[in-house]
Amino acid sequence: MPKCTKCQSTSFKMTIENVNGSNIKFRVISCYSCDTVVSFLDFTNNSIAFDDIYDKLAIRRRS
């Protein structure tokens, strides 16, 4: 199970963030507990790479 390098949490979340002053959006994978960014992807990247990271991080959503 991957762990956050900062707080050792094993829960992560995905958010979509804008880069200031541009139309570029990134999908950001960050720690659920402390918001440390683990990885991010250009929004135009193909979904295969994203799904791969998604699987590796075993992202959980708050229910």
**Is 57 a binder of Zn ion (CB under 5 A)?**
no
Q: How many CB atoms lie within 10 A of CB 38?
A: 19
Q: Per-residue contact track with Zn ion, 1 to 40, x per CB under 5 A? A: ---x-xx-x---------------------x-xx-x----
Cα–Cα nearest to 30, from 57, 50, 55, 51: 57
CA distance 3 to 26: 22
Minimum Å distance from CB 48 to Zn ion? 27
Question: Would you tell me which residues interact with Zn ion (CB under 5 A)?
Answer: 4, 6-7, 9, 31, 33-34, 36
